[in-house]
Structure formats: structure tokens, C-alpha cells
């Protein structure tokens, strides 16, 4: 039940998926809100600190998720999925990971442009390994904003595809990511 089976996702994969989604949407909302804070707002320093800290935690979570995916492969595709749907799903998941890492790298480059480390909830610091590049903060900021929007839009398309499979195709694509019990039973 914790690990994936040939027919469904295990509890760890499901938890990592939904925790990542929650963090992405939470960070998007926080980032969208904080860019308009005035210098005199009580959240002016707190919101960016939370955004960076949660972002670095998400980076660790996504790294663990990728490692978990390699040591605990995803279930086989459903028999009802066509070849193009299987290819599209693999490409789509790869694109989601690419956007996540691009987003997190650009956030890191924004935060370390001045050479200062990033404090993670005041527990420890992540050093500024790359800093002082020409227009680092501006270029990384533009990339960060663009990729954040792209990730949210593409993840909504990902969710719509899952809903299409559930309500139109009536297959277990969505239920496999909601219910670990399906990991042990073969579904259409």
C-alpha cells in the first residue's frame, strides 16, 4: 500500500503528488500576492522569507519524488490508453518536472544575486553558490514569473486530462492518484 504496484500508485507517491501540488499553488498565490506589498507592510520581509523557505522545501520534496520514481516505478499504463496518450503523459510529466526545476533554480538565482545565502525558516542557510552575474536578479525574475504562470496553466491542463479520463473515458486514471487501495487491484 505504501509502494506503487503494477496497477496503481502507493500512498507515498500519492502523498508526494498532492503535497507538491499544494506547495506549487500555495507558492504561486503567495508570490502573486507579495509582489505588490509596500515597503511599509508588516509582510514585506516575512512573505518573501516564507516563499523562499517553502520553495527550498519543495525543491527537496521534488528531488525525493524523482528518486522515489526511479526506485519505485509508476504503474503500467491502463489498457484503455492509446499509444499517443501514453507518450503525451510521459512528455507531460517530464515537462512538469522541467518547469518545477526551472522555477526553483530561477528563484534561487533571484534570491542569491546579491551574494547572500537563503535562510530556510531561520533553521539553516543555503549558500549563494552563483551570484553577481550580469542582471542576474532581473533575468531570473522574468524567467521565474513566466515559468510560474506556465506551470500553473499546464498543471491545470494536467488536472483537466485526469478529469476527462474519469468522467468521459470512465477509467481509473484519476482514482489511482486518489486511492492507494487501487494499487493492489487491476482496473480498466
Per residue in 137-147, pLDDT (tens digit) is 999 999 999 99
State how far the Cα of 154 lies from the Cα of 95, in Å rounded to an integer.
Answer: 9
pTM of the model: 0.92
Q: Among all chains, which residue has been given the C-alpha cell 507531460?
A: 92
Per residue in 64-116, pLDDT (tens digit) is 999 999 999 999 999 999 999 999 999 999 999 999 999 999 999 999 999 99
Dihedral Cα 165, 13, 65, 95, nearest 10 deg: 0
For residue 125, give the H/E element and its range.
Answer: strand 124-126
State how far the Cα of 69 lies from the Cα of 95, in Å rounded to an integer.
Answer: 15
Which architecture characterizes domain 11-184 according to CATH?
Up-down Bundle (1.20)
Amino acid at each position: 500500500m505504501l509502494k506503487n504496484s503494477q496497477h496503481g500508485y502507493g500512498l507515498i507517491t500519492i502523498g508526494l503528488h498532492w503535497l507538491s501540488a499544494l506547495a506549487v499553488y500555495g507558492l504561486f498565490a503567495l508570490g502573486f500576492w507579495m509582489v505588490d506589498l509596500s515597503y511599509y507592510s508588516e509582510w514585506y520581509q516575512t512573505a518573501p522569507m516564507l516563499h523562499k523557505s517553502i520553495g527550498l522545501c519543495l525543491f527537496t520534496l521534488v528531488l525525493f519524488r524523482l528518486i522515489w520514481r526511479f526506485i519505485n516505478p509508476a504503474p503500467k499504463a491502463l489498457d484503455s490508453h492509446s499509444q499517443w496518450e501514453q507518450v503525451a503523459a510521459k512528455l507531460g510529466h517530464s515537462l512538469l518536472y522541467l518547469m518545477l526545476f526551472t522555477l526553483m533554480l530561477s528563484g534561487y538565482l533571484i534570491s542569491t544575486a546579491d551574494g547572500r545565502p537563503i535562510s530556510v525558516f531561520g533553521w539553516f542557510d543555503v549558500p549563494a553558490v552563483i551570484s553577481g552575474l550580469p542582471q542576474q536578479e532581473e533575468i531570473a525574475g522574468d524567467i521565474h514569473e513566466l515559468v510560474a504562470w506556465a506551470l500553473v496553466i499546464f498543471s491545470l491542463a494536467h488536472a483537466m486530462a485526469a478529469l476527462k479520463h474519469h468522467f468521459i473515458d470512465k477509467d481509473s486514471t484519476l482514482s489511482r492518484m486518489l486511492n492507494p487501495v487501487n494499487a493492489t487491484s487491476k482496473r480498466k
